[in-house]
Structure 1
């Protein structure tokens, strides 16, 4: 077998070859949707959100489905993976959302946004907004929705729309809150809350225990947004930097930020929490410390006591 020539690599995440192919080294394998998960009873199926650019997703529905009097909150989930690995259909994401959907009794939509290196930012941000517009269109009486989803039409409470994710997915969700401050969703649909787990933020100057120099976060941002104005102080990656808009207008009513003891983003995420608090943002701001764990540990080891406690905390937020 002929060896392909490497163009660039970002270890341990991805390797890019000169022929345009990519090895996504840390992605867990994709797994199929199923109409009844044997562990949780949650149903899932794969759906199309938009055609151009193409955006797909996996939607999850709990076993205890809604009735006309009690519709279900919607949680729009963006997976982690440094914008370059994992997918909406990968094993870790699928297992985690089955558990969360079962415990929280919500509808979840796991968005398969476009990845690096072929789709630098803001492609993922735009796909996230496209997903929110598609959901909002379902709430408009008589609207012609492209790829209408019966589970949303029958079971969703559109007044309870949440967004969130882990690390880079939480970064994506934050940037949707910023966009929502200046751009309305169809029908004026509002985002009720955001659940940001160990969000991926950084800056040009280290704070707290952050390493100086070429950390993995800096390398990821160089791949994600190579020509971004401001570099590591671009507001997309540094929402507390001098170039960033005020966080007082974040477009939701409540935010839950989670941190862990072994996460490299911990100090930056505490700064983000404090900056929101000091900005005058009028919503409910919550901080949950999951203890001496790695970031996204609840995806990798969801059945440990610490992970179960965290998932219970997340579930209680999605009401």
Structure 2
């Protein structure tokens, strides 16, 4: 539930993570940074992309998504992108304005099918819930390659008709990129249904952090950084805290970065992003790990984190989306 802040002035706050979310003792939740919910559309007026809302699983937990199909889809097979939105694991959804607009533009530019996952959010569902939803959705995509008539999985017609299952990508922005990285790591050690292989991982400014400051990260304020507050809020029981390998893949004792279960990775960074130095360290660590895949780094220059989602009309955002499209082939 989302409520206007002015109506909650007399209510008692249980916990909050500013500027993102506030939880009241009566159970009311204020998602302070969520954009408005928008419906799917058959042939978006700007891009011609069609979208619809689908159910991936009715089991406990249930899991839904919004799927996007490019305009020129007749007699074509398209790469498939399993996408995870930004929002610090506690705000936004595939059905919110910013995410919907961004996926329309990316699908139009890339000529891909995108499946944007409505993974579970805080505060009701602390991590690892979102990671489990990511794995469930990846298994669901893989299940489309089976011809078993007794399968209990309900298949999506757009994927069946237009999806190229030799070109499956996973990706996301910020915490969604963190989720995609962790999915790639899991796919390196666990087999997907019908032995589906992930072609690539698209990691846009991924949310990585650690207990000791590196690079230009401020030393004195490090322990009170928003990144640590977010992680402690979304995964309070994480073993090792902020040095858990799921948020600090370069931590001592973390699994080898030579094992992602995909063939190529594109990592994007921006100069004004707080995670920039972490992401560069991740890039260097993967490069030095002995991983046999193709690793690419795209530096978007003097931009804020999430600029391509919030200001897609700018020249920088258009160039960014074109660069993603050149990877998703």
TM-score (norm. length: structure 2):
0.95
Q: Does 2:201 correspond to 1:191?
A: no
Q: Does 2:89 correspond to 1:83?
A: yes
Alignment partners' CA distance in 2, 1:147 and 1:34: 22
CA offsets, 1:259-301, max 9 Å, x none? Answer: 0010000000000000000000000000000010011110001
Counterpart mapping for 1:115-264 below 5 A: 115-143=121-149, 144-211=151-218, 212-264=222-274
Alignment partners' CA distance in 2, 1:190 and 1:281: 16
Counterpart mapping for 1:282-293 below 5 A: 282-293=292-303
Q: Does 2:30 correspond to 1:30?
A: no
Is the CA contact 1:194–1:252 (under 8 Å) kept in the aligned structure 2? yes
Is the CA contact 1:233–1:243 (under 8 Å) kept in the aligned structure 2? no
CA offsets, 1:7-41, max 9 Å, x none? Answer: 01111000011122210000111100001100000
Alignment partners' CA distance in 2, 1:261 and 1:274: 17
Other structure's SS at 1:134 match: helix
> Shift of residue 304 of structure 1?
0.5
Is the CA contact 1:173–1:196 (under 8 Å) kept in the aligned structure 2? yes
Q: Does 2:25 correspond to 1:15?
A: no
Unpaired runs of 5+ residues, structure 2, are: 1-6
Name which of 65, 71, 77 aligns with 1:57.
65
Other structure's SS at 1:192 match: strand
Q: Does 2:66 correspond to 1:46?
A: no
Count of residues paired in the alignment: 317
Name which of 302, 316, 325 aligns with 1:315.
325
Unpaired runs of 5+ residues, structure 1, are: none
TM-score (norm. length: structure 1):
0.97
Other structure's SS at 1:100 match: helix
Name which of 77, 84, 103 aligns with 1:97.
103
